């Protein structure tokens, strides 16, 4: 089961001006083949379907625990898309075409299929699909796939970073490069334990360290490139049988941190009357609040 907290993994900046085209680019990191929906659902279903987990508990713990962090990554990327879209259109009479600006944007689906919010789709508007999930049941093969998946995800993050100087996009990509780098190395170390093949010698893939991207540096200075969070008060305690040793880039010790990150408040999305969202007038909201108060 899962416990949810109403917090975002990190605080993200508020934009002075909306940037729908940056939102379209960030969509790739959510609903693309190597996006967060893919990493989440690969690890989620591998953990659900894991055979013999009590005999190889550290490997199960690793996959299951990373799954929980991926849920937070989906939320983070979703929020970034929403922040880039926030405030692009204004309320108006339907005959005045208040959504007119949306038709010229990179992804007009944001203005039709959603209330100027994220979608489970890539940067071209193509929907995410369960066909992106790989779960063979063979431990080595699934871990090898996860290693490949995280390397592909890292490549796409780096390219999105180079596509836009949008501060929201770069903030979340900087964080995700650091955290994704942890997952790449975790799967590499798991494969080393299983097979003896020194997978970490191939890293980083692509061959460019995170510190080349300025928004990663503050997270690495905090040691987040060396930490695995344990997203459970009582479970997944055998992660440290895999996640141990030192980081290959700076020689500092790897460590397991009990509990999730402190996090930050989730930005509240304003009402969008021109999108009929949430579809309640101010009077109706006040009446609803009063009715709910009476029921306490």
Q: How confident is the model at residue 295 (pLDDT cuts 50, 70, 90)?
A: low
Burial of 159 (0-12, 13-18, 19+ CB in 10 A): middle
Cβ atoms < 10 Å from Cβ of 204:
18
Q: What are phi and psi of 117, to 5 degrees?
A: -135, 175
State the pLDDT at residue 296.
62
Among the residue ranges 48-57, 200-209, 264-273, 285-294, the one predicted with the least confidence is 285-294
> What does the DSSP 8-state code read for residue 230?
E
- The dihedral over CA atoms of 17, 18, 22, 27, expressed in degrees to the nearest 10, equals 150
Task: Calculate what percentage of the chain has a pLDDT beyond 90.
Answer: 93
Closest CA to 49 of 37, 60, 36: 60
Q: How far separated are the first and last CA of the chain, in Å rounded?
A: 29
Q: What are phi and psi of 56, to 5 degrees?
A: -130, 50
Report the greatest alpha carbon distance in the chain: 68
Report the alpha-carbon distance of residue 172 to residue 177 in Å, rounded.
8
State pLDDT tens for residues 151-188. Answer: 999 999 999 999 999 999 999 999 999 999 999 999 99
Q: How confident is the model at residue 291 (pLDDT cuts 50, 70, 90)?
A: confident
State the pLDDT at residue 289.
84
Domains and CATH numbers, the chain: 20-294 (1.20.1260.10)
Q: How confident is the model at residue 233 (pLDDT cuts 50, 70, 90)?
A: very high
Partner residues linked to 8 by β-bridges:
264
Report the alpha-carbon distance of residue 59 to residue 186 in Å, rounded.
10
DSSP letters of 34-74? TSHHHHHHHHHHHHHT-SSTTTSHHHHHHHHHHHHHHHHHH
**Cα-based angle 41, 28, 187 (whole degrees, multiple of 5):** 45
State pLDDT tens for residues 243-288. Answer: 999 999 999 999 999 999 999 999 999 999 999 999 888 888 888 8
Contact 230, 237 (CB under 8 A): yes
The residue with tokens 């975002």 is 8
Has residue 293 got a pLDDT over 90? no
Q: How confident is the model at residue 142 (pLDDT cuts 50, 70, 90)?
A: very high
Q: How confident is the model at residue 86 (pLDDT cuts 50, 70, 90)?
A: very high
Task: Calculate what percentage of the chain has a pLDDT beyond 70.
Answer: 99
Helix, strand and coil percent figures for the chain, each rounded to 5? 55, 5, 40
Q: How confident is the model at residue 208 (pLDDT cuts 50, 70, 90)?
A: very high
């Amino acid at each position: 089961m899962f416990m949810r907290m109403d917090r975002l993994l990190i605080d993200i900046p508020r934009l002075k001006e909306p940037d729908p085209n940056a939102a379209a680019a960030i969509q790739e990191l959510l609903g693309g083949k190597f996006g967060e929906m893919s990493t989440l659902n690969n690890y989620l279903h591998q953990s659900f379907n894991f055979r013999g987990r009590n005999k190889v508990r550290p490997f199960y713990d690793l996959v299951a625990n990373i799954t929980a962090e991926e849920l937070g990554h989906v939320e983070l990327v979703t929020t970034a898309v929403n922040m880039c879209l926030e405030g692009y259109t204004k309320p108006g009479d339907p005959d005045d075409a208040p959504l007119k600006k949306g038709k010229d944007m990179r992804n007009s689906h944001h203005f039709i299929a959603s209330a100027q919010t994220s979608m489970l789709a890539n940067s071209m508007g193509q929907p995410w699909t369960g066909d992106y999930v790989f779960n063979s049941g063979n431990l080595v093969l699934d871990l090898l796939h996860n290693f490949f998946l995280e390397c592909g995800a890292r490549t796409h993050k780096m390219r999105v970073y180079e596509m836009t100087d949008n501060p929201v996009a770069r903030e979340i990509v900087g964080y995700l490069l650091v955290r994704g780098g942890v997952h790449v190395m975790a799967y590499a170390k798991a494969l080393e334990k299983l097979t003896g093949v020194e997978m970490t010698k191939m890293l980083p893939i692509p061959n460019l360290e995170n510190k080349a991207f300025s928004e990663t540096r503050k997270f690495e200075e905090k040691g987040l490139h060396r930490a695995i969070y344990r997203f459970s008060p009582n479970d997944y305690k055998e992660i440290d049988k895999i996640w141990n040793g030192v980081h290959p880039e700076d020689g500092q010790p790897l460590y397991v941190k009990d509990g999730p990150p402190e996090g930050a408040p989730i930005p509240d999305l304003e009402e969008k009357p021109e999108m009929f969202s949430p579809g309640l007038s101010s009077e109706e909201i006040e009446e609803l609040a009063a009715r709910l108060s009476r029921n306490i």
